[in-house]
A and B are shown apart, each in its own frame.
Chain A
Amino acid sequence: MKRRDLLKSAAAVPLAAPALAQPAGANVFKVIPQANLTSLDPIWTTATISRHHGYLVYDQITAVDSTYTPRPQMAEGWTVEDDGRTYTFTLRDGLRFHDGEAVLAKDCVASINRWGRRDQFGQELMAVTDELSALDDRRFRFRLKRAFPLLPTALGKENASPCFVMPERIAATDPFTQIREAIGSGPYRFIPGEWVPGAKVAYQRNAAYVPRNEPPNWISGGRHARVERIEWTIIPDPATANAAMQQGEADFWELPLHDLLPTLRRNRNLVVHVRDQIGTYAMLRFNHLHPPFNNVAMRRAVAMAVNQEDYMRAVVGDDPAGWKQCLSYWTCGTANESLAGTEHMRNPSIERGKAALAAAGYNGERVVLIAPSDFPTIFAVSQVTNDLLRRLGMNVDFVSTDWGTLVQRRASREPLERGGWSIFHTTWSGADHLNPAGHQPIRGNGTNGWFGWPTDEQTETFRAAWFAAGDAAAQKAATEGMQARAAATVPYVPLGAFLHPNVWRRTISGVIDGPMLVFYNIAKSG
């Protein structure tokens, strides 16, 4: 018995009011998530925390495994006909939403339609879809304009935004407007009455959920609700979260600071584990519309001087296991990884960078680097770039601001004198850069594209070829082409990948390895 518990029991007897009924400790899994759950709609926002929420509350029609192969999830299976232009999905029997209503094919159709207007992969799918309709209660069908072999993969994608299935009445909400209810058919029910944004979120086991029999693999396979209740406590201060883990006040901490890992590793009651070996990728993004970085030679000059180790050490410190070098524009350690065209980045050198800048005609033009001081990881890599550019002899205007301001300013296409920008940094999950479906920053679709707006028709041609590819070899050829174009045109500079460990108590089991953190399947003993 802990000293505090003893004191408490002695003192509480005459003082305490009748306590509210609380579930037994072993049945309550207490989590310190990475952020505050501000929105319940994982389609409306791409916030990671809303996706965590989505995986508990909703289910998916298909789900990818660690080889990025789509497996049936809510679907019993699917058939492909008409040379790949007709897909018919059949739902498993007995699926029910948390409000007791049966999950019907029309719910899937409405959910796909809403998701398909927001998600990039979904937009590609809907662009080739002639008709999507429910055939009966359990079957729905896609009729396509042309073959789209990645259709089941799109429906089962794991990262922002997965195609979660909601009741038709909720999925009918405009995709640019937030839904008001969190009703899904997933392994846990959201408890709205206990939601205190910024403080607490609670989920109750969905007793009616019937998991698949296959073992879990990434997000595919059985999704078992092994604890009665999951509670998220939002603790924004890392030191406090650390203390809460040390004292047993929480069972799982999603995002511990790298600085605190040695202390956490010394505690024999805690497990420190890198669940996501794919990692988080940092990038230096240029504004391609205005000088000096509308000149590819300038961008290549900066890329020549970037030493990824400097960046990664600024993020994770001296732990060599905490980061990895990755020059590829595709996620390292996965099928599409490639070093094509990266020769100029392999031996970073300030002197070569300076010479290249001079050769490119740099003449002291101002470079506005915007950096969010409330985002420690991104601010750290921004400071490394600030130092690098100054050492290259560039005229840097380092603008320290907050993330809320940065995301507004980076949308500006104006020149510098009218509030524009030259460089910002951000991070992406490696899972987003596995293939062209989720990789926004590599694209060359100009002002229709992601902030920075590079234009490269060849990149877009390769991308279209990937979506139309019928086999792995054709897909690989397309991604190799995109890699070579990216290395040549430098839409951004890759800064390396860092690994985020999670921390949990030894009483916890069943945490699934993979890029997505899911809280089902986890059991707690003692």
Chain B
Amino acid sequence: MWAYIVRRIIATIPVMAVVALFVFSLLYIAPGDPAAVIAGDQATPQDVERIRASLGLDRPYLIRFGEWLWNVLRGDLGVSIFTNLPVSLMIAQRIEPTLALMVVTLVLSISIAIPMGVIAAWKNGTWIDRAVMGFAVFGFSVPVFVTGYLLAYVFALELDWLPVQGYTPIRNGFFPFIENLILPAVALGSVYIALIARITRATMMEVLQQDYVRTAKAKGVGSRGVLFVHGLKNAAVPIVTVIGIGIALLIGGAVVTESVFAIPGLGRLVVDAILRRDYPVIQGVVLLFSFVYVLLNLLIDLLYTVLDPRIRY
């Protein structure tokens, strides 16, 4: 087991190297010029050239890539072209809101979606099942920003129960922290809830047809025990897989959600950086996202062994 974990961690190195090469090359060939953005409309082409030279953007590809890679290997993600701040500091400033949004969304989504899916499978064919599936279709179909605006309109503007925008760190109190995150988490979680609920329902329906479930029922195990002990545990592997894959969905959705609710997270940081062509910031955040995703896959693989003793590495 430990040998497997070490092997997998070592395997992340070539993956990250490919990601680094890909991201750097893509940005290099992409059109756009941060020097021209900095110089603004007042500047002459000569001014733009001088700014480009001062930023080192006129140097050859290989030199720039080599220098960046060397710095990354030493843990230095570089300095933002625009703000002059270290990229690692900018990421550190923005990672907490994104992490908080994702954790709250995950907790909210899992605690709603799994019971929904289990109940829908249990009440298969009834109005409860149809209602859950109807919600799932709705959740998939409505874009996150539409859900976000609707929630903000009803619960912030009309009812005045929750704030419209912003983020408060948890160190400033749990209530201010959570009241800022409820609407974004519900908006972001709507797709995720739909996804997990559907998979849970489908997997549970399959599991509930198995012989061991019939045996459990015959032995007099109650509905709750059948569903949550015998059923759900055996349905857990595909559900966990979807939860893991869905985190990538959350990262994408967080970009939109952070804009709608003005949460100062990593999603907005990377979008702003792309629009301005702030290359070191884009490269840093994409590397971070890739690393998180690789680790997440490892974590899910390890979770399989906990959920299904038959799986061994």
Contacts and interface: CB of A to CB of B under 8 A. Distances in A.
Interface stretch (B79-87, B109-117, B196-204, B214-222): B79-87
Interface in B244-273: 259-262, 264, 268-269, 272
Interface in A368-418: 374, 401-405, 407-409, 411
A198 B164 contact: no
Nearest to A409: B31
A12 B177 CA distance: 11
Interface in A162-201: 174, 176-178, 180, 196-200
Interface in A208-264: 233-237, 239-241, 243-244, 246-247, 249
A433 to B, nearest CB: 12
Contacts of A403: 37, 275
Contacts of B268: 198-199, 236
Interface of A: 2-4, 7-8, 11-12, 15-17, 19-20, 36, 38-40, 44-47, 118-120, 160-161, 174, 176-178, 180, 196-200, 233-237, 239-241, 243-244, 246-247, 249, 374, 401-405, 407-409, 411, 426, 428, 432, 438, 440, 448-451
Given A244-B164, A405-B31, A438-B42, 19 more contacts: A8-B176, A12-B175, A16-B174, A38-B82, A38-B272, A39-B82, A177-B54, A197-B80, A197-B82, A199-B264, A199-B268, A233-B166, A234-B262, A240-B259, A244-B165, A404-B33, A407-B32, A407-B36, A411-B33
B108 interface: no
Contacts of A241: 262
19 contacts: A12-B176, A15-B173, A17-B171, A20-B172, A196-B93, A197-B90, A197-B93, A198-B272, A234-B264, A240-B165, A243-B157, A243-B165, A244-B262, A247-B156, A249-B164, A407-B36, A411-B33, A411-B45, A440-B42
B37 A243 contact: no
Contact of B262 (A46, A180, A240): A240
Interface string B41-78: 11111111011011000000000000000000000000
Contact of A11 (B32, B39, B175): B175
Contacts of A246: 157
Nearest to A17: B173
B276 interface: yes
B50 A176 contact: yes
B275 A402 contact: yes
Contacts of A11: 175
B143 interface: no
Contacts of A199: 93-94, 264, 268
Interface in B174-208: 174-176, 179
A240 B37 contact: no
Interface of B: 31-34, 36-48, 50-51, 53-54, 80, 82-85, 90, 93-94, 149, 152-153, 156-157, 159-166, 170-176, 179, 259-262, 264, 268-269, 272, 275-278
Closest 7 CB pairs of A and B: A199-B264, A46-B40, A16-B173, A408-B33, A407-B36, A404-B32, A38-B82
B83 A411 contact: no
A430 B43 CA distance: 17
A19 B168 CA distance: 11
A247 B262 contact: no
Contacts of A17: 170-174
Contacts of B31: 401, 404-405, 408-409
Contacts of B264: 196, 198-200, 234
B272 A36 contact: yes
A243 B42 CA distance: 34
Contacts of B90: 197
Given A240-B260, A404-B33, A408-B31, A19 B41 contact: no
A450 B37 CA distance: 15
Nearest to A450: B44
B127 to A, nearest CB: 34
Contacts of B43: 46
Contacts of A8: 175-176, 179
A46 B41 contact: yes
Contacts of A235: 165, 262
Contacts of A247: 156-157, 160, 163-164
Given A247-B160, A247-B163, A404 B262 contact: no
A45 B94 CA distance: 24
Contact of B38 (A45, A120, A161): A45
Nearest to B170: A17
A4 B161 contact: yes
A246 to B, nearest CB: 6
B166 A451 contact: no
Contact of A12 (B94, B152, B163, B173): B173
Contacts of A405: 31-32
Given A249-B166, A405-B32, A407-B33, A449 B44 contact: yes
Contacts of A119: 42
A4 B162 contact: yes
B276 A411 contact: no
Contact of B261 (A38, A240, A440): A240
B255 to A, nearest CB: 11
A284 to B, nearest CB: 14
Contacts of B153: 243
A123 B124 CA distance: 78
Contacts of A409: 31
A416 to B, nearest CB: 16
A237 B32 contact: no
Contacts of B172: 16-17, 19-20
A324 to B, nearest CB: 21
A463 B153 CA distance: 54
Nearest to A174: B54
A404 B276 contact: yes
Given A4-B160, A233-B262, A46 B42 contact: yes
A178 B157 CA distance: 42
Nearest to A419: B31
Contacts of A20: 171-172
A170 B92 CA distance: 27
Contacts of A449: 44
Contacts of B278: 38
Nearest to A161: B42
